Amino acid sequence: MAETRQVWRLAKRPVGDIRDGDLVFRDEPLPELQEGQFLLKVGYLSLDPTNRIWMSDMEQYMPPVELGAPMRGGVVGRVVASRKPGYEPGMLVAGFSEWASHIVTDGTGMGPFPEIPGLSVAQLFGTLAAVGPTAYFGLLDIGQPKPGETLVVSAAAGGVGQIVGQIGKLKGCKVIGIAGGADKCRYITQELGFDHAIDYKSQDVGAELDRIAPEGVDINFEQVGGKIMSAVLDRMKVFGRVPLCGMISGYNATDGEEEPGRWTMLLMRRLTIRGFIVSDFADRFPEAYQALIGWMLEGKVKTRQDVRPGLDKADEHVKLLYSGGNFGKLLVQVADI
Amino acid sequence: MAETRQVWRLAKRPVGDIRDGDLVFRDEPLPELQEGQFLLKVGYLSLDPTNRIWMSDMEQYMPPVELGAPMRGGVVGRVVASRKPGYEPGMLVAGFSEWASHIVTDGTGMGPFPEIPGLSVAQLFGTLAAVGPTAYFGLLDIGQPKPGETLVVSAAAGGVGQIVGQIGKLKGCKVIGIAGGADKCRYITQELGFDHAIDYKSQDVGAELDRIAPEGVDINFEQVGGKIMSAVLDRMKVFGRVPLCGMISGYNATDGEEEPGRWTMLLMRRLTIRGFIVSDFADRFPEAYQALIGWMLEGKVKTRQDVRPGLDKADEHVKLLYSGGNFGKLLVQVADI
């Protein structure tokens, strides 16, 4: 058994983009296993847009990572030693933990992770934790899609976006994805069945929406913020819904500027805007897991992971999220498990 | 029976404040009653913030009043002649119609209005049409007040605000009203039982909220917009709700400027913002009427009307709404009915 572990700690709060030295990578001794704890060998680390929020001291939905503390992240791994009943060696466990190769834990924030024949650990972890439930609750509970409605999703080839669009199609919506680059646009239309794609890097989002959705937008599943969000909001229909899932374009901003308010328009069109975090729906995760696993096994929801090797490069990999460099749900492969 | 009527027509779209000549007041011949029509002698005209919206060509929730057309407004009156079955002379009728002394109509947009012993026509009309249902649905359906929560309502001594606060108290909320001037502040706390009042004309709204509601705000029933809205939004609690009912501070604006967006905050605090117009709930008006009449008869909801005499001065009276000059629901008494 390993006697050391590798771990990323937050050394400095990034200003603007994440830079070398904001996170430090260290070998550390593994603490001895206490009664009620188990040792997890991490297989995959999930990298998510919210990581940048946790590194900062901006207003956020849970406490920021403390300086000097291990960087927070979602992981899946296998139990390799245990002094906790019910967590036997060999078992898959996933949850909120640390950017680390090995984790000694009492299991707080973690739980057993399913193994489903026909679905790889990366595929299942990259779908269920937690992009799938984010898409599921954000679209179904807040977006409330109805057949024939027009749904727009930004960051459409990313972890959440690809699932949002496919659930939208299952619910009978006309689905428009906004993504960066021809490859991603082709993927969401040709592989995932979105009706339209808009390439924000080469096209004018507003003008494209006017062309392909002259009827206006019923649901804007918002992940990006900034000018792309404004272009969609300006085209919302009366009684439209806006699940507010992310504002990634602003997470590295240093000026704190936001797109202008649209308060009068919100009133006149009677829009509903609701911010949410997937953990708000934690007590209903089993419902989402069941639906998503079913759709995956039936081939109705396909998910693409962007798996990058090497925990030691996690600080580089995470930057892909803010430049649009990932293609699918971004995971770091930490070890074979 | 009158052979002429007096009517206000929209001559010009106001730029900024309403000015002399934007609306013109005329004597006109009364059209002859056709089969299926009745003649209504108007008792009260309701003046509402939305009147200014209808005069403009800004984005709005129903078509603006056409230039040259009678000004649109809510009225209650008594049928004085009828060729429409079911609408007998002597009957009270209310609905969306015109700023006029007499109205010949087929009844579109109108319906019988109740007479309740113990409640005057002005009191009942000034409560049910449509400030009461606006308060009822906006607060209960969108605001979803729970006992112990903190509710802020702006324009708190106005037609809608006074009812919102009293329903909030019935639901067990801590209620804070924002109003202009000592008289209105005293009225909402001493007469209506609000817990606190903030006088926006003499106090710093944000600082006062910090003092009397350091716990933050669960529900902001928004009617005003502008800097007052921003001061409340900045103090919303996680999972807060914002029924967006009006933006009166902006209706006379000529620059189109809005308060800054707060998109990241909406997300992080998982706020729900929902714009609404009372007519969105038209199919449930009987539910609101029943509840409101019951509360009024029991003395649990008191409503104050600001009744101004003289249809010929309606163009002056309506301006009171935008300067905060009215105290209670603003009505014009057109005739004794």
Helix (H, G, I), strand (E, B) or coil at B5: strand
Question: Using the beta-carbon criterion (under 8 Å), do A244 and B266 form an inter-chain contact?
Answer: yes
Whether B1 shows a pLDDT value over 80: the answer reads no
Reduced 3-state DSSP string for B193-214: CCCEEEECCCCCHHHHHHHHCC
The DSSP symbol for A162 reads H
Among the listed residues B108, B110, B78, B107, the one whose alpha carbon sits nearest the alpha carbon of residue B94: B110
User: Residue B161 corresponds to which amino acid?
Assistant: G
Q: Inform me whether the C-beta atom of residue B42 falls under 8 Å from chain A C-beta atoms.
A: no
Q: How far is CA A268 from CA A128, A271, B59, B135, B252, in A?
A: 38, 8, 7, 17, 16
Q: Which CATH superfamily is domain B4-113+304-333 in?
A: Medium-chain alcohol dehydrogenases, catalytic domain (3.90.180.10)
**Residue range B90-111, pLDDT digits in tens:** 999 999 999 999 999 999 999 9
Name the minimum distance, in Å, from the CA of B135 to any CA of chain A. Answer: 15
**Residue range A313-326, pLDDT digits in tens:** 999 999 999 999 99
Nearest beta carbon to residue B258 from set A239, A260, A280: A260
Whether B2 shows a pLDDT value over 80: the answer reads no
Tokens of B109: 């947009």
ipTM of the complex: 0.91
Q: Which CATH superfamily is domain A131-279 in?
A: NAD(P)-binding Rossmann-like Domain (3.40.50.720)
Give, in degrees to the nearest 5, the angle at Cα A327 between A323 and A330: 85
Distance CA(B219)–CA(B165), nearest Å, equals 11
Q: Which of A233, A263, A265, A279 to mutate to test the interface with B (most CBs of B within 10 A)?
A: A263
Distance CA(A142)–CA(A221), nearest Å, equals 9
Q: Where are the beta strands (DSSP E) in A99-204?
A: 102-105, 110-112, 150-154, 174-179, 196-199
Handedness of CA B327, B332, B336, B337 (dihedral sign): negative
Ranges in chain B annotated CATH 3.90.180.10: 4-113+304-333
Please name the residues in contact with B150: beta carbons below 8 A apart, sequence gap of 6 or more: B173, B174, B176, B213, B215, B216, B217, B218, B219, B237
Whether A1 shows a pLDDT value over 60: the answer reads no
**Residue range B220-273, pLDDT digits in tens:** 999 999 999 999 999 999 999 999 999 988 888 877 778 889 999 999 999 999
* pLDDT, position B250: 85
Chain A positions touching B270 (Cβ under 8 A) are 61, 274-277, 280
Ranges in chain B annotated CATH 3.40.50.720: 131-279
Mean of per-residue pLDDT scores for chain A: 96
Q: How far is CA B82 from CA A307, B40, B91, in A?
A: 77, 9, 10
**Residue range B159-198, pLDDT digits in tens:** 999 999 999 999 999 999 999 999 999 999 999 999 999 9
Among the listed residues B92, B88, B91, B46, the one whose alpha carbon sits nearest the alpha carbon of residue B71: B46
Please name the residues in contact with A196: beta carbons below 8 A apart, sequence gap of 6 or more: A174, A175, A176, A177, A189, A212, A213
Distance CA(B253)–CA(A231), nearest Å, equals 24
Count of CB atoms situated within 10 Å of the CB of B294: 11
Handedness of CA B262, B265, B266, B267 (dihedral sign): positive
Q: How confident is the model at residue A255 (pLDDT cuts 50, 70, 90)?
A: confident
Element (H, E) at B263: helix B263-268
Tokens of B204: 């710093």
**Residue range B61-97, pLDDT digits in tens:** 999 999 999 999 999 999 999 999 999 999 999 999 9
Distance CA(A176)–CA(A183), nearest Å, equals 16
Nearest-10 crossing angle of helices A159-170, A285-297:
80
Give, in degrees to the nearest 5, the angle at Cα A146 between B271 and B243: 25
Whether A2 shows a pLDDT value over 80: the answer reads no
Q: Token pair 């009372």 is at which residue?
A: B278
**Residue range A114-171, pLDDT digits in tens:** 999 999 999 999 999 899 999 999 999 999 999 999 999 999 999 999 999 999 999 9
User: Residue A44 corresponds to which amino acid?
Assistant: Y
Are the beta carbons of B287 and B18 closer than 8 angstroms?
Answer: no
Nearest beta carbon to residue B274 from set A244, A247, A272: A272
pTM: 0.93
Name the minimum distance, in Å, from the CA of B260 to any CA of chain A. Answer: 5
Handedness of CA A150, A153, A156, A160 (dihedral sign): negative
A:B CB pairs within 8 Å? 106
The two most distant CA atoms of chain B are separated, in Å, by: 63
Chain A positions touching B229 (Cβ under 8 A) are 263
Are the beta carbons of B11 and B30 closer than 8 angstroms?
Answer: no
Tokens of A40: 């997890």
Question: Using the beta-carbon criterion (under 8 Å), do A275 and B277 form an inter-chain contact?
Answer: no
Are the beta carbons of A158 and A324 closer than 8 angstroms?
Answer: no
